[in-house]
Structure 1
């Protein structure tokens, strides 16, 4: 017998913080509320059941653009348009979406903004870890009520996935491949049959129209549990690539550093774009094993040196410049962060880094200050 799950009352203005305070990182639907409202007001295209926006408007929200009334929608993802279109169209079907890519390719970021645009709620989240239990995907129990009154609807604690099924919303599962294989397979019935049995009550939760699920995964992290073929077949897989060009990566880093800096009340660093471009260049050359002019091969360290790590390095450099410098982002502000990102294997990566410094950085015009700063922190 189907069982209903009481909808959770969600205040669209919530930011997850205590009254009178401001969230350090607001949920996507709150941070971009004005853009989502503007899109909804001018979106006259067909919307799937329970979607807040049409697929076209969701893609516009992710990729950015100018609305007919002149409203500017900032891009949330910088990359091939077709990737976003395929991801959005998948969510409009009964197929779940798997965002796959190496660490730092904005899988979580895209997942959150997709859920915010489609359902208006990005918080129905299961965070995958090696210790994620089956209850995090299915349901758990309030043991005080269970012991007092036995199995009952009141004693059942729905998971985010169960709530999404009952309310026709989008659920998210982060780092799916870090979840143990037997727990992963809990999703098979949910994704294929669109119901979740509750044998203790002789009932089930049936997914209502609008329900779907976005999972993220990478195969470069330690502790990966490969997806079973049965589970992988239930997903449409979209691979998020690393930025194709250096300029695209510089744009991504600049945009995110600006957003993070404003949220932390960090002053804008004049001429910071030069150091951002330098960090991106170093990361791309070490990642690709080749200098950007194609003339010199270099060894790649063990770390991923992702765009997300570049954002972290520049943000930390901005804080150093603001609080312990003259407010101008300089090579010395980013050198230590780069070293920390590169040296994942202290022994092997240090040799690779020193060789890169001496054969590439030392000889590059305009990089003398950066070379000296890196040498100082590398000692």
Structure 2
């Protein structure tokens, strides 16, 4: 099949042919098995019951022995609150610092609830009302005037028409006046189209999942009117180092398989070391609580740890013996920590000399970091 040929999933290429499949493609088998065994009540327009959606996210077993892998590692109650919110008439706002899997959870919630995670608005400072509501085919508009055929639906409008989940990423990066265009949609479940003298009414199953970054609160804060339309769930960083190691190891394995990296040892020792470095620097104290540390300016979340380890695996696979070693992750760690070449470099050098150097079992890591620093 060429890139222009339609795939078996509604015009999309098959999951194995793309670099990063959508959740409903990559986990289609699990979603299908859950649907077969799901005998719980389903809200209108949902593909699965809230119970099955929660099982899909947190993982577990089915009566026939099928194992559903976890997509999110964290407090069960938070997931239950998020899923229950989507079953009401309120929108869901996932709030947290970078690296807390807000986007990941948003995508998987949409895939499990409506089978489509692609109705996405990526917010930036330049996001316009047209990107949120609808736009126009201007050639047709000039030739024929306003008409249904000239209307270009945005993700939000398509989600309303089909009774699906619309996703809005980084809501607080969207300009305030554009944010407020959501108020009518969220409160009245209606999107007016004044140019045509009509409106789009949301079908049952429509809802909105938005994400926002704790560090962006001062960019474009939500108005009180808009905030009231959301139920907010705050996603924490992994509670323990072992939880974070598990998350990083699983995601790195999935990404490595998608990139078709040569298989090698799991490299858990180096993953644990990367996680330890990131957790200590972002918390400002060593794991034993004995040494206070300065924190760098950048974000050292789980997502950054996954990126560092994945890059390290690529180095080990293509330029080493396939075994993940300290030298393979050292460069990625330094690049992740030293975002500001002045202040962050001081923070990193102090950590390297006062903490890493005094750990005998980390001598190879110390030497590797000194070499790339």
Correspondence 1:181 to 2:176: yes
Q: Distance in 2 between matches of 1:270 and 1:253?
A: 15
Correspondence 1:202 to 2:197: yes
Q: Distance in 2 between matches of 1:168 and 1:90?
A: 16
Per the normalisation by structure 1, the TM-score is 0.95
| 1:341-362 deviation line (CA, Å, top 9, x unaligned) | 0011110010110010111000
Assess if the C-alpha contact under 8 Å between 1:189 and 1:196 holds in 2.
yes
| 1:81-131 deviation line (CA, Å, top 9, x unaligned) | 001000000000000000000111111000000000000000111111111
RMSD (Å), alpha carbons:
1.6
Tell me how far 1:281 sits from its aligned partner.
0.2
Residue 262 of structure 2 is matched in structure 1 by 267
Q: Distance in 1 between matches of 2:202 and 2:158?
A: 9
Residue 212 of structure 1 is matched in structure 2 by 207
Assess if the C-alpha contact under 8 Å between 1:258 and 1:268 holds in 2.
no
Q: Distance in 1 between matches of 2:342 and 2:30?
A: 48
Correspondence 1:104 to 2:120: no
| 1:128-186 deviation line (CA, Å, top 9, x unaligned) | 11111100111101111111111111111111101111111110001111111111111
SS at match of 1:220: helix
Residue 9 of structure 2 is matched in structure 1 by 13
Matches of residues 1-379 of structure 1 in structure 2 within 5 Å?
13=9, 16-17=12-13, 22-221=17-216, 224-378=219-373
Assess if the C-alpha contact under 8 Å between 1:138 and 1:162 holds in 2.
yes
Tell me how far 1:224 sits from its aligned partner.
2.4
CA change 1:355–1:362 in 2 (3 A) is same
Q: Which moved more, 1:59-68 or 1:259-268?
A: 259-268
SS at match of 1:267: coil
Assess if the C-alpha contact under 8 Å between 2:295 and 2:347 holds in 1.
yes
Q: Distance in 2 between matches of 1:178 and 1:30?
A: 29
Tell me how far 1:268 sits from its aligned partner.
3.0
Give the ranges of 4+ consecutive aligned residues of structure 1 lying more than 6 Å apart after TM superposition. none
User: Structure 2: which 5+ residue stretches go unaligned?
Assistant: 1-5
CA change 1:196–1:20 in 2 (3 A) is closer
Assess if the C-alpha contact under 8 Å between 1:47 and 1:55 holds in 2.
yes
SS at match of 2:215: coil
SS at match of 1:154: coil
User: Structure 1: which 5+ residue stretches go unaligned?
Assistant: 1-9
Per the normalisation by structure 2, the TM-score is 0.96
Q: Distance in 2 between matches of 1:164 and 1:55?
A: 19
Q: Distance in 2 between matches of 1:49 and 1:126?
A: 24
